[in-house]
Structure 1
Amino acid sequence: MRILIGAVAVALLAGCTTPSELKSGDAVFVSATKKLPKQYALCVFPKWQDLNAESAMTETETGYRLVMANPGVGQTDELLEVSKTSTGSTVRHFQRIALMQVGRGDVSESVKSCI
């Protein structure tokens, strides 16, 4: 019961989180891949859509950005930045509360499996 109360308190303190706010923190996973940003993003995006139909993918100046949000709460839970490099891409995965991994293993696995 204490754990549940603590988790609820942390969630309330977190408030609304935007992709920019997530990006200002440390990434939970950083890696390089030989895939081009579009190839990598198209590998991850269908997996994120299966987990959350509200997932979105947008093209950026340097690659692609994938966002998984919780629209009922108004928070961005996951952010994936894929940037072009001379040898492929750099991948940076950000999570709203990285310590709370319950139910998020599939998200992290999808990011890693496409490398």
Structure 2
Amino acid sequence: MRILIGLVAVAMLAGCTTPSDLLKDSPELSATTKKDPRTFAICVYPSWQDYRSSAVMSETSAGYRIVAGNDMNGQTDDVLDIRKSSSGSVVRLYQRMAWQQLGRGDLKNSINRCL
């Protein structure tokens, strides 16, 4: 019984993902735009809110970040990191379970549309 409880606890901990965890991995999508980070973030943010009403946009020291997660389990599912570059912005999308795109198609579409 102790082993079963231990396995369940490890499985639950392994499932927790923070924005910092996602940013450690390679991005699922990387692009550049001539738009400044604020303009780009404001362009894509409505689609992220449609995807998850709890999506949060925040200003960082290098630009903007949009984070969407699962309210039920506290997971971070998607992070869009928008950083200022010499010619505009560098945009990187990080996703937990990137292979699972059900309901996420509009996120990539909004990025491509706003470039």
* TM-score, normalised by the number of residues in structure 2: 0.86
Q: Is the 8 A contact 2:51 2:103 kept in 1?
A: no
Identity %: 48
The root-mean-square deviation of aligned C-alpha atoms, in Å, is 1.6
Count of matched residue pairs: 105
4+ residue segments displaced more than 4 Å: 11-14
2:77 is equivalent to residue 82 of structure 1 = no
CA drift of 1:12 comes to 6.4
The residue type paired with residue 63 of structure 1 is G
Instruction: Find the counterpart in structure 2 of residue 59 from structure 1.
Output: 59
Unaligned runs of 5+ in 1: 1-10
SS at match of 1:43: helix
Instruction: Find the counterpart in structure 2 of residue 47 from structure 1.
Output: 47
Matches of 2:98 and 2:14, distance apart in 1: 12
* Structure possessing the higher radius of gyration over alpha carbons: 2
The C-alpha deviation readout for 1:17-67, integer Å capped at 9, x for no partner, is 000000001100000000000000000111111221100000000100000
Instruction: Find the counterpart in structure 1 of residue 38 from structure 2.
Output: 38
The residue type paired with residue 46 of structure 1 is P
